[in-house]
């Protein structure tokens, strides 16, 4: 692997970590704003509370398909909240 390939790989990993951290932080904020527990949100997402906890703490990162599900859930909440007010 040459220097440029190595740098590109490190950049991609860094960007992925930033996206994961942003998504995790956003999930926590929404969950707290809605005053729901990790168990309740985990149930809505179809995952275990332990999995959600590890995502929120940054111990583990959601797969790309799970990230898509989370984004859809967040967008749905934004849509509902925007149109209720």
pLDDT digits (tens, 9 = 90+) for 10-66: 545 544 555 666 777 778 887 888 788 999 989 988 899 999 999 888 888 888 888
Tokens of 14: 């860094």
Vertex 57, ends 78 and 60: CA angle to 5°? 100
Q: For 52-78, how does the pLDDT look when each residue is reduced to its tens digit (9 = 90+)?
A: 999 888 888 888 888 888 888 777 877
pLDDT for 37? 93
- Residue 36 in 3-state DSSP? coil
Long-range pairs for 45-50: beta carbons < 8 A, 24 or more residues apart:
45/69, 45/70, 45/73
φ/ψ of residue 35, rounded to 5: 55, 45
* CA 79/CA 72 separation, integer angstroms: 10
End-to-end Cα, the chain, rounded Å: 54
pLDDT for 50? 96
pLDDT for 24? 78
Is residue 7 scored above 60 in pLDDT?
A: no
4-8 average pLDDT score: 55
Domains detected in the chain = 3-84 (1.10.260.40)
């Amino acid at each position: 692997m040459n220097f440029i390939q190595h740098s590109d790989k490190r950049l991609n990993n860094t960007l992925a970590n930033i996206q994961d951290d942003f998504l995790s932080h956003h999930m926590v904020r929404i969950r707290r704003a809605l005053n729901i527990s990790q168990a309740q949100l985990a149930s809505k997402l179809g995952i275990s509370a332990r999995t959600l906890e590890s995502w929120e703490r940054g111990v583990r990162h959601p797969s790309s398909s799970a990230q898509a599900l989370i984004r859809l859930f967040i967008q749905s909440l934004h849509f509902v909240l925007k149109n209720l007010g």
